[in-house]
Amino acid sequence: MVVWADRWQADGCVELCLTKLSGVDIATITLSDVNTNLFALPESVKKAAALASFHIMCKRWLVRKFGDVYAVITDIGLLKSFCSLSFPFVRV
């Protein structure tokens, strides 16, 4: 939806979409969502003011999923998941 809003240059809709994205239940986000969808946003969308709340949601997801560093290092599944994250997501 965000991509379509951007294509139609509907800034208000882009802001609304990002606001709704930031309210997504982080328990429902998958690694695939993060790598394929969340950071495939157009550059103009990445400059939107509402992206700040989206970044907060992303940080909460990272902490929830990978906050226990010892578990990430010792659990092969978690380690593989962490290593497969796209760099832009971790950089947020």
Domain ranges for the chain, please list them: 2-91
What pLDDT sits at residue 70? 96
5 compared with 83, residue with greater pLDDT: 83
Query: Does the model's pTM come out above 0.85?
Result: no
pLDDT confidence bin for 80, thresholds 50/70/90: very high
Residue 9 — left, alpha, or beta (φ > 0 → left; ψ -120 to 50 → alpha)? left
pLDDT confidence bin for 61, thresholds 50/70/90: confident
Percentage of the chain beyond pLDDT 70 is 53
The CA distance from 29 to 89, in Å, is 13
